[in-house]
Amino acid sequence: MLSKAFTARAHTNIALIKYWGKKDQELILPMNSSLSLTLDHFYTDTEVYFDQALKQDVFYLNEEKQNVSKVTQFMNIVRRQAGLKVFAHISSTNHVPTMAGLASSASAYAALAMAASQAAGLQLSRRDLSRLARRGSGSACRSIYGGFVEWQRGHDDQSSFASPIEENTNWNICMIAVVIDKARKKISSRLGMQRVVETSPFYTAWMKSTERDLAAIKEAIKKRDLKKVGTIAEENAMKMHALNMSAHPHFSYFEPASIAVMHLVELLRSEGICCYYTLDAGPNVKILCSVEDSTRILDRLAARFDKEQLLVARPGPGVHLINKK
């Protein structure tokens, strides 16, 4: 019965091995494979139901009506798979700052993929759900799963999907998100990576480097080697941002406070605390560390940042249906 509403919750993921560049803009096929950690703190709840009375899709984000063009493109994929011609009512609540480098699109499209496919009567495998989520936002394919997740770049729509590396991890690690700026990025991820692929003279080296990083970090995760995992993730992030600075015209997502946090993490390491930073397409810094060390790190960060700017997340679950309250 298509009038039934389904609500899904999906959590964000933070890439430890970055995806930065597409070889197919429409299908969102990445130039390189990537690996992420799904987090429990940031998530999106999305409700979808189909309504014969609607003349077009209706989309609300945080109770405000939105332009539906991009969402309708995604819903058209769902409708084609389900053989439907009915428009949908979509309502999302985003517990992630939007467009600020905290993977809001990942949780958004993972939640939409599950809620919409269920409302359309599709019973997709998690692999096919991952492929569907990818069509909305590349990193969304990884938010289908919890814990450590690899997005295999593949070569076409069928072969590009995410799969879990260690979904229900018992590793006592966490990630501290230092929210420096919640504002929308001046350069979107889409535009930034396109410019890098087209103009950076170092992009071929990046491709080779990420293959080595991916293999090494998977082995380090198996061995519970936080130092190695953190070192690889930090260096991979810096290589990605170096690409941005080598593009034409060059650009950067860093802000002075971003660099200050990176320097503090390096200082803490010199004092014997095992912690490492990573940044996506935005100024906010994520610090990977053990749960035991997080209090000491937060104490040092508190000298510069408000409590509301310091958010602690642990490994989180994959996308799932919830009962709307």
User: Of the candidates 257, 230, 95, which has an alpha carbon nearest to the alpha carbon of residue 175?
Assistant: 230
The count of domains in the chain is 2
User: What is the tens place of the pLDDT at every residue in 261-283?
Assistant: 999 999 999 999 999 999 999 89
Residues whose CB falls within 8 Å of the CB of residue 77, separated by 6 or more in sequence, listed in order? 132, 135
Which of the residue ranges 4-18, 88-102, 106-120, 155-169 would you say has the lowest mean pLDDT? 88-102
Above 60 in pLDDT, residue 249?
A: yes
CB 40 within 8 A of CB 317: yes
User: Is there a single domain that holds both residue 41 and residue 126?
Assistant: yes
Q: Which residues pair with 22 in a beta bridge?
A: 30
Above 80 in pLDDT, residue 112?
A: yes
Range 66-95 average pLDDT: 96
pLDDT of residue 97: 64
Above 70 in pLDDT, residue 102?
A: no
Above 60 in pLDDT, residue 53?
A: yes
User: Is there a single domain that holds both residue 78 and residue 178?
Assistant: no
User: Can you read off the two tokens belonging to residue 185?
Assistant: 């990025």
Share of the chain above pLDDT 70, in %: 97
Determine, yes or no, domain membership for 324.
Answer: no
User: Is there a single domain that holds both residue 194 and residue 159?
Assistant: no
Above 60 in pLDDT, residue 13?
A: yes
User: Is there a single domain that holds both residue 200 and residue 220?
Assistant: yes
Range 208-218 average pLDDT: 98
Running DSSP on this structure, what letter comes out for residue 120? T
Above 80 in pLDDT, residue 3?
A: no
Range 279-300 average pLDDT: 96
User: Helices then strands (H, E): number in the chain?
Assistant: 8, 14
C-alpha–C-alpha distance, residues 17 and 14, integer Å: 9
Above 90 in pLDDT, residue 253?
A: yes
Whether omega for the bond prior to residue 315 falls within 30 degrees of 0, making it cis, is no
Q: Of 128, 152, 170, which residue constitutes the final position of a domain?
A: 170
pLDDT of residue 116: 98
Above 90 in pLDDT, residue 104?
A: no
CB 6 within 8 A of CB 90: no
User: Of the candidates 83, 87, 297, 69, which has an alpha carbon nearest to the alpha carbon of residue 177?
Assistant: 297
Residue 158 CA: distances (Å) to CA of 52, 70, 182, 222, 255: 31, 22, 35, 28, 39
User: What is the tens place of the pLDDT at every residue in 159-204?
Assistant: 999 999 999 999 999 999 999 987 777 898 899 999 999 999 999 9
Q: Which residues pair with 91 in a beta bridge?
A: 47, 60
C-alpha–C-alpha distance, residues 131 and 118, integer Å: 15
Determine, yes or no, domain membership for 257.
Answer: yes
Range 8-15 average pLDDT: 97
Determine, yes or no, domain membership for 1.
Answer: no
Residue listed under structure tokens 């293959």: 211
Confidence tier at 82 by pLDDT (50, 70, 90): very high
Determine, yes or no, domain membership for 46.
Answer: yes
Range 42-68 average pLDDT: 96
pLDDT of residue 169: 93
Strand boundaries in 279-324, DSSP class E: 285-290, 310-313, 320-322
The whole-chain average pLDDT of the chain stands at 95
How many CB atoms within 10 Å of residue 242? 15
Q: Of 170, 187, 221, which residue constitutes the final position of a domain?
A: 170
Q: Of 149, 170, 191, which residue constitutes the final position of a domain?
A: 170
Expressed as residue numbers, the domain containing 87 is 6-170
238, exposed or middle or buried, with CB in 10 Å at 0-12, 13-18, 19+? middle
What pTM does this model have? Answer: 0.95
Q: Which residues pair with 61 in a beta bridge?
A: 64, 92
Helices (H), 120-225: 126-134, 189-199, 203-222
